[in-house]
């Protein structure tokens, strides 16, 4: 599992998307335009894109935590450039 691309967003406020990331789950599955959101308490959460008002995917808690951690690492690396 790895982040393929991280696009940080500028001027994000509390509970705003701070980045969009593309993730490769394995050699067969890639997910694009996942939204990394900073919560009001400062924590981050990764969300799948939406099709209209419905999410295109959901993740188990352990998977969401792992994907979020990878996305935050990618965001920090992108911001250090």
Please give the Cα distance from 68 to 71 (Å, whole number).
5
**Does the pTM exceed 0.85?**
yes
Q: Where are the domains of the chain?
A: 2-80
Three-class SS state of 81: coil
* Residue 47 in this model has a pLDDT that exceeds 90: yes
Given a contact cutoff of 8 angstroms between Cβ atoms, the answer to whether 59 and 34 are in contact is no
How much of the chain exceeds pLDDT 70, in percent? 95
Residues 46-73, buried b or exposed e (16+ Cβ, 10 A)? bbbeeeeeeeeeebeeeeeeebbebbbe
Task: Look at residue 46 in the predicted model and tell me its pLDDT.
Answer: 95
* Residue 15 in this model has a pLDDT that exceeds 70: no
- In which band, very low, low, confident or very high, does the pLDDT at 12 lie, cut at 50, 70 and 90? low
Compute the radius of gyration of the chain from its Cα atoms: 12
């Amino acid at each position: 599992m790895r982040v393929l691309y991280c696009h940080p967003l500028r001027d994000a406020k509390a509970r705003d998307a701070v980045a969009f990331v593309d993730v490769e789950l394995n050699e067969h599955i890639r997910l694009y335009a996942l939204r990394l959101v900073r919560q009001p308490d400062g924590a981050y959460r990764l969300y799948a894109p939406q099709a209209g008002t419905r999410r295109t995917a959901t993740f188990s808690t352990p998977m969401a935590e792992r994907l979020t951690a990878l996305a935050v690492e990618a965001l920090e690396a992108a911001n250090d450039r």
